[in-house]
Structure 1
Amino acid sequence: MAENLTIVVADDHPMLLKGLTEELTANDYNVIDTALNGAIALELITKLNPDIAILDIEMPLLTGFEVIKKCEDKNLKTKFIVLTSHKESRFIYKAKTLNISGYLLKDEPFHEIQKCIHTVFNGEYYYSSTFNDVFDKEISPKIQKIKLLSPSERTIIRLIADNKSSKEISESLLISIRTVQKHRSNIINKLDLSSDQDALSNWVSTNKLLLASI
């Protein structure tokens, strides 16, 4: 089946791109083109309409995620596999929201890449075990806590994410600063954060993608 599917590979590290392409070709995969940046990757995918595109996340001009979003807007049939070094929850959550077919770490053995390609080609999803661990242990619990927030608390936490002060929030919502502070206290309790002065701001800063989904 390997020779029957077409693949485009994009990575801004020439040696990694060359190594993966050669490994795929040696195992009878039909790599029809490669790209060293996101703009070229988008151009190739749009022009060639491959079955699968294997993309790095952080590339010049367009990130892997931006390439995928633009391809989805064009309703292309290409399925996407992200091959990355990133294990951070914000990258994994972004991949989940984009409904990416595969997410693998660059230190995975080649047989994992093969397994991912064939699973994705058959219309299923394939994620690194690290991906699933991070989603289940870090992201999902946060989402559950966010769901505990009341509509008013969700409004306020979005404004905090926009770097609004308590005074600015009170003026925007026509409520007292004391009411804003009460809401902030409730949010901190529901998110199970410490009482440290910057705890909520720091949490919001690192979880903006999650907040955008509520």
Structure 2
Amino acid sequence: MKKEASIVIADDHPMLLKGLYDELTSNGYNIIGQADNGMRALELILTLKPKLALLDIEMPLLNAFEVFKMAREKRTETKFILLSYHKEKEYILQARALNIGAYLLKEDSFFTIEKCIESVLNNEEFFSPYFQDSALSNTKDELKQLSHLTASEVSILKRIALNQSSKAIADDIGVSIRTIDKHRANIINKLGLSKSTNTLTSWALLNKDIIGEL
């Protein structure tokens, strides 16, 4: 049965963690570990090897994205569900950039949580009903656009996301400013951004977490 799948849960808010634990266990789910910070969550995932981990995104020591990346580096097969209050598109983009296909809001019903768990265990994506299909489709399109960038363009975009100037980037990689400006123009075209001054820099700073995963 699906409810026999081992689960680790993590949230740095004691009441929310207790509420999640009580709700899951009273409905027959097998909770094998609880954590109130990201480092402890990672330790539990690596030692207990649960089938599923439900993690609050923002936790002390390590956030859920960092836990996921470190767990994957250790080749864990645990499946992840993110829990958050955040409704901003950037969080969905970052989850998708890491190939995390499950994202719930803390306001979602327990019925929704159950549907999400079932979907993830069946290797299917599941996002909170709050997010419209059109919005989810748009995030896929944005990631597809990023995939069209060359290695050089990705390298430059990462530096732009660190708020480096064209001159600093040119000096850093040993090319002319004109070459950097040409790359910037190509990136703007590929991402479908407006050609206004500083548009690319503003976009890169806003999406620096996603860019960092490229």
Whether TM exceeds 0.5 here: the answer is yes
- Say which SS state the counterpart of residue 54 (structure 2) adopts: strand
Q: TM-score when scaled to structure 1?
A: 0.81
In structure 1, the residue matched to 2:30 is 30
Once the two structures are aligned, what percentage of the paired residues are identical? 46
Task: Decide which moves more: 59-68 or 140-149.
Answer: 140-149
Contact 1:87 1:131 in 2 (8 A): no
In structure 2, the residue matched to 1:192 is 193
Pairs aligned (count): 211
Letter in 1 for 2:80: F
User: Which whole-Å CA distance do the structure 2 matches of 1:150 and 1:53 have between them?
Assistant: 34
User: Which whole-Å CA distance do the structure 1 matches of 2:153 and 2:5 have between them?
Assistant: 49
Superposed counterparts of 1:19-168, under 5 Å = 19-129=19-129, 130=131, 133-137=134-138, 139-143=139-143, 145-146=145-146, 156-168=156-168
How far does residue 184 in structure 1 lie from its aligned partner after superposition? 4.2
User: Which whole-Å CA distance do the structure 1 matches of 2:113 and 2:53 have between them?
Assistant: 12
In structure 2, the residue matched to 1:174 is 175
Contact 1:39 1:61 in 2 (8 A): yes
User: Which whole-Å CA distance do the structure 1 matches of 2:109 and 2:159 have between them?
Assistant: 44
- Say which SS state the counterpart of residue 54 (structure 1) adopts: strand
- Distance change (3 Å), C-alpha of 1:145 and 1:107: same
User: Which whole-Å CA distance do the structure 1 matches of 2:33 and 2:134 have between them?
Assistant: 33
CA offsets, 1:88-145, max 9 Å, x none?
Answer: 23321222232224211111111010111122223333222417543322x3443455
Gaps of 5+ in 2: none
- Say which SS state the counterpart of residue 205 (structure 1) adopts: helix
Larger radius of gyration: 1
- Say which SS state the counterpart of residue 77 (structure 2) adopts: coil
